[in-house]
């Protein structure tokens, strides 16, 4: 394993979905929640390429966590009932085993019951994925 990116610590909000991909690292930055993962063989498909489903799931996770951070910063209730209503992924480049993925999130819109978020996924200095998601929450 290479060095963890600066400012990231072990992600403690694990779930049954992400457990096989551990360790995942996280960093809170203002109202954003960033995730990082070093690509291992367990993250690849049968051709040895990073699996797009892993990227989509972690992008969705990072955007949802950021929604929770944003609402908490505004003193609003947690997003336990938040659901993803739309997810769009643009795969722009590949990443290789041993590289670090960093999922950086942002907001496009945050309303009373819905939010639209974005994530940029990088491997080194290359943008490999752009993702957008809409969430509904109560």
**DSSP single-letter state for residue 13:** -
| pLDDT number for residue 80 | 64
Architecture of domain 30-136: Roll (3.10)
Distance CA 36, CA 25 (A): 5
| pLDDT number for residue 97 | 94
| pLDDT number for residue 79 | 58
| pLDDT number for residue 61 | 94
Peptide bond into 23 cis (omega under 30): yes
DSSP states along 78-95: P-TT-EEEEEEEEE----
Distance CA 126, CA 92 (A): 9
| pLDDT number for residue 50 | 92
| pLDDT number for residue 123 | 96
Per-residue pLDDT of the chain (138 residues; tens, 9 = 90+): 689 999 999 998 888 888 888 999 999 877 788 999 999 999 998 988 899 999 999 999 999 998 888 888 888 766 567 899 999 999 999 999 999 999 999 988 888 889 999 999 999 999 999 999 999 987
- Give the residue among 57, 21, 15 at the shortest CA–CA distance from 39: 21
Task: Write down the pTM of the prediction.
Answer: 0.91
């Amino acid at each position: 394993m290479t060095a963890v990116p600066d400012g990231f610590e072990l992600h403690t909000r694990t779930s049954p979905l992400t457990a096989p991909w551990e360790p995942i690292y996280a960093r809170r930055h203002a109202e954003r929640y960033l995730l990082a993962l070093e690509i291992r063989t367990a993250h690849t498909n049968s051709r040895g390429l990073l699996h797009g489903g892993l990227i989509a799931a972690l992008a969705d996770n990072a955007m949802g966590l950021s929604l929770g951070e944003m609402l908490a910063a505004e003193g609003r209730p947690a997003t336990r009932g938040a659901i993803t209503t739309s997810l769009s992924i643009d795969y722009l480049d590949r990443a290789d085993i041993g590289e670090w993925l960093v999922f950086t999130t942002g907001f496009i819109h945050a309303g009373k019951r819905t939010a639209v978020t974005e994530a940029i996924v990088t491997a080194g200095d290359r943008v490999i994925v752009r993702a957008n998601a809409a969430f509904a929450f109560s």
